[in-house]
A and B are shown apart, each in its own frame.
Chain A
Amino acid sequence: KAGVTQTPRYLIKTRGQQVTLSCSPISGHRSVSWYQQTPGQGLQFLFEYFSETQRNKGNFPGRFSGRQFSNSRSEMNVSTLELGDSALYLCASSSDREGATNEKLFFGSGTQLSVL
């Protein structure tokens, strides 16, 4: 069974640009979460989707948005990039309706975003 796939693996952008990151969950998983990882802040929750519905959103500005498609694939978008958005963005999927509450998360390898 294929794992969680994130594309692209690396991305370099300049301030003010926008970026879209993609995540394909494990087949059959309907919950997809996104996390931002930085050396200073660790792992910060961005949002979670289940069956195309956003069930929770972290404390990030409105420049960060996401969506989930009917096949459970998910994208996140960051508009008007700032230097501080440089981070590893991790996507995770899980199989259960409860998502991360009690169930194991399967993480992708992440997209490393550098904003210059």
Chain B
Amino acid sequence: GDSVTQMEGPVTLSEEAFLTINCTYTATGYPSLFWYVQYPGEGLQLLLKATKADDKGSNKGFEATYRKETTSFHLEKGSVQVSDSAVYFCGRGGSNYKLTFGKGTLLTVNP
């Protein structure tokens, strides 16, 4: 069935460091791909999405490119801030009205 595998954390970085969180998905069909972010005590918020191969989603300095050949959707940011500390979830859509998520990656950015 549908599945998403993302790099397990926790990830701890210093401010202004480069961030990569790896995400791969099962290749059934041509799903939409998403990154959601969860700040402490809150629900998830959509960070970015891509709906077809080679699309690049971007928001708030974060980027991810839909790579069909490697079934990947890695999240990157060139210079992280303390305010980026959160849990990041990679997700894929399907034809059955649900999102399948990875297990989440906790990011902590230190000043």
Binding between chains A and B: yes
Interface residues, chain A, with chain B CB atoms under 8 Å away: 4, 31, 33, 35, 41-43, 45, 48, 50, 55-56, 58, 90, 92, 98-102, 104-105, 107-110
Q: Give the nearest-CB partner of B46 in chain A.
A: A104
Interface residues, chain B, with chain A CB atoms under 8 Å away: 32, 36, 41-46, 49, 51, 89, 93-104
Task: Decide if B99 touches A100 in the complex (CB within 8 Å).
Answer: yes
Given contacts A43-B101, A45-B98, A102-B32, contact A90 B43 (CB under 8 A): yes
**Chain A residues with CB under 8 A of B51:** 102
How far is A93 from B56 in the complex, measured between Cα atoms in Å? 25
- Interface residues of chain B: helix, strand, loop or mixed (majority): loop
Task: Decide if B98 touches A100 in the complex (CB within 8 Å).
Answer: yes
Task: Decide if A55 touches B43 in the complex (CB within 8 Å).
Answer: no
Choose from B36, B45, B97 the contact partner of A98 (Cβ within 8 Å).
Answer: B97
Task: Decide if B41 touches A109 in the complex (CB within 8 Å).
Answer: yes
Smallest beta-carbon distance A23→chain B, Å: 11
How far is A48 from B95 in the complex, measured between Cα atoms in Å? 13
Task: Decide if A107 touches B45 in the complex (CB within 8 Å).
Answer: yes
Report which residue of B95, B97, B99 has the largest number of chain A beta carbons within 10 angstroms of its beta carbon: B97
**Chain B residues with CB under 8 A of A108:** 43
Given contacts A4-B43, A56-B96, A109-B42, contact A43 B89 (CB under 8 A): yes
Task: Decide if B97 touches A31 in the complex (CB within 8 Å).
Answer: yes
Task: Decide if A90 touches B98 in the complex (CB within 8 Å).
Answer: no
Task: Decide if B44 touches A90 in the complex (CB within 8 Å).
Answer: yes
How far is A25 from B94 in the complex, measured between Cα atoms in Å? 21
Task: Given contacts A42-B89, A99-B98, list 14 more A-B pairs with CB under 8 A.
Answer: A31-B97, A33-B98, A33-B99, A42-B103, A56-B96, A100-B93, A101-B93, A101-B95, A104-B46, A104-B49, A107-B43, A107-B44, A108-B43, A110-B43
Task: Decide if B43 touches A58 in the complex (CB within 8 Å).
Answer: no
How far is A33 from B104 in the complex, measured between Cα atoms in Å? 19
Given contacts A100-B93, A102-B51, A109-B43, contact A41 B98 (CB under 8 A): no
Task: Decide if A105 touches B104 in the complex (CB within 8 Å).
Answer: no
Smallest beta-carbon distance B18→chain A, Å: 25
Smallest beta-carbon distance A60→chain B, Å: 12
